[in-house]
Amino acid sequence: MSQKYSRRDFIKTGAAMGTASLMGQGRGLLAGIPRAAAASIGIMRVVSSGNGIRAVDKAMEILKNNGDPLDAVIAGVNIVEDDPNDMSVGYGGLPNEEGEVELDASVMYGPTHTSGAVAAIKNIKNPSKVAKLVMDRTNHCLLVGKGALKFALAHGFKKENLLTDKAREAWLRWKETLSDRDNWLPAQIKKLPEELQLLMMTHGTINCIAIDAQGRLAGVTTTSGLSWKLPGRVGDSPIIGAGLYVDNNIGAAGSTGLGEANIRTCASFQVVNFMGQGMSPEQACLKTLEKISEKAKLSPPSLKLLNAVGLPSFGLNFYALNKKGEFGAACMWSGSKYAVHDGQKSELKECAFLHKSKA
Ligand code: ASP
């Protein structure tokens, strides 16, 4: 599925797809397949970000046992939320600037077009499960901070300390080296372990989207967001239309990477819309990145969204799956992978990319 594009190739392909999509719409087809038939072809697929190979395996196991696709993707990402070694999600996630772990998550279920999300929730290691409860047990879409925590406790979740020693030490190192005009003194360590070298802001997330044999689409995105963020900062992951979007007639899309760049363009919604116009999942992801890249050029220099040659300075990835079970992913800068289970096997694949990273 993965393909490398130069910008010029992509613009050409995009133009061609634009024409094809109009034709597809006119015939009431979804990229050549009538919608009713597409839902009954029995295809099962699970797609996730590059840290999601265990997630796609778990989710596919559940789909094969006739499980619900939303339960399947949530069970998949729970493995990563529970894993202290993934420092971008759930337990062990990197904390905010005050050393507190704040998590964001959203879920969306295609058949009912409903969603749930929590943002800046503390002390609950599986925010994706709480997001599902927001969807099922409230008539709201998003709960934040203390309200989200109270809601989780009301449903029997237990408060846990999510800050592992590894994440705490990484945070401490960052804090101690922020300035030489404060009272913090970094430890004199000659060779730092890799996890203590995270002095820059880092990020990471898991997104997982699936279609089951009945054509039901669902998705989840869960994250600890940007490391060292301002307390209360909410990224794209819990924002429906940004970090996740599902339209059961078309497909699903999710994202990882700089949330602010995503939120400003409602980008997962864009990806799904582009698929609805007839683009392949990969083309829809690339076209969305192209738009984001263009918009970044309008940003004031203070936001530092552009590098020295005027291209986006940030990473952003999209993962997409359509109603036919076709999937694809693309990243702003080359070098990312995504995970997929096609019903036979799981594997990591190269994402297509908009800009080529220097080797
Ligand atoms: N999208 C996440 C956020 O901005 C971070 C990431 O995926 O890298 O919170």
Q: How confident is the model at residue 156 (pLDDT cuts 50, 70, 90)?
A: very high
CA distance 119 to 87: 18
| CATH number of residue 101's parent domain | 3.60.20.30
Nearest ligand 1 atom to alpha carbon 259: 4
* Residues carrying an active site annotation: 205
- The predicted model gives 142-163 an average pLDDT of 98
Number of structural domains (the chain) is 1
- The predicted model gives 137-143 an average pLDDT of 98
Is residue 97 scored above 80 in pLDDT? Answer: yes
Question: Distance, CA 19 to ligand 1 centroid (Å)?
Answer: 33
Residue 189 lies in a domain: no
Report yes or no: 321 and 340 within 8 Å, Cβ to Cβ: no
Nearest ligand 1 atom to alpha carbon 202: 8
Residue 170 lies in a domain: no
Nearest ligand 1 atom to alpha carbon 203: 8
Residue 244 lies in a domain: yes
For atom 9 of ligand 1, the residue with the nearest CA is 225
Domain extent for 133? 43-163+202-355
Per-residue pLDDT tens over the stretch 242-251: 999 999 999 9
pLDDT at position 200: 65
Question: Distance, CA 21 to ligand 1 centroid (Å)?
Answer: 31
Using CB distances shorter than 6 Å, the residues near ligand 1 are 203-205, 223, 225-226, 235-237, 256-259
Per-residue pLDDT tens over the stretch 311-352: 999 999 999 999 999 999 999 999 999 999 999 999 999 999
Residue 27 lies in a domain: no
CA distance 148 to 130: 8
Nearest ligand 1 atom to alpha carbon 237: 1
Residue 142: φ, ψ to 5°: -150, 125
Residue 171 lies in a domain: no
Question: Distance, CA 106 to ligand 1 centroid (Å)?
Answer: 13
Per-residue pLDDT tens over the stretch 41-71: 589 999 999 999 999 999 999 999 999 999 9
Structure tokens at 127: 């925010």
Q: How confident is the model at residue 203 (pLDDT cuts 50, 70, 90)?
A: confident
Is residue 207 scored above 80 in pLDDT? Answer: yes
Q: Give the least confident one: 7-16, 155-164, 200-209, 299-308.
A: 7-16
pLDDT at position 299: 93
pLDDT at position 280: 98
Question: Distance, CA 234 to ligand 1 centroid (Å)?
Answer: 9
pLDDT at position 202: 77
Ligand 1 probe mutation, 237, 260, 317, most atoms within 8 A of CB: 237
Q: Give the least confident one: 18-32, 102-116, 252-266, 292-306.
A: 18-32
CA distance 93 to 67: 29
pLDDT at position 134: 98
Higher pLDDT, 118 or 16: 118
CA distance 120 to 144: 6
Is residue 36 scored above 70 in pLDDT? Answer: no
Report yes or no: 41 and 324 within 8 Å, Cβ to Cβ: yes
pLDDT at position 39: 46
pLDDT at position 195: 59
Q: How confident is the model at residue 26 (pLDDT cuts 50, 70, 90)?
A: very low
- The predicted model gives 244-268 an average pLDDT of 97
Is residue 149 scored above 50 in pLDDT? Answer: yes
Per-chain mean pLDDT for the chain: 88
pLDDT at position 20: 33
pLDDT at position 282: 98
Residue 179 lies in a domain: no
Report yes or no: 148 and 118 within 8 Å, Cβ to Cβ: yes
Residue 178 lies in a domain: no
pLDDT at position 27: 29
pLDDT at position 127: 98
Residue 259 lies in a domain: yes
Helix (H) or strand (E) segment spanning residue 133: helix 127-137
